[in-house]
Amino acid sequence: MIKRIAASNLVLNLNKTNVMKFITKNSSHSALHVGIKKSKLGETVNTKFLGSQTDNHINLKNHT
């Protein structure tokens, strides 16, 4: 993915980039560690994407 971003002359803002791991209600949550160029990306449990609030269970309760 980094190569695709670089080839398109885009810049990834690591301060605004988060990681969300989608899980089911029956699975246990384990930490997800993702890093780019020695910088660790923060993990979030909910986010706003295309105007909709969603959480890691793909639930829209926060939106309504």
- For position 8, what pLDDT does the model report? 85
Nearest to 23 by CA among 60, 63, 62, 56: 56
Q: What ranges do the domains of the chain cover?
A: 2-55
**Phi/psi of residue 35, nearest 5 degrees:** -140, 155
pLDDT confidence bin for 33, thresholds 50/70/90: confident
CA-CA distance, 37 to 54, in Å (whole number)? 28
Q: Indicate whether 36 pLDDT > 60.
A: yes
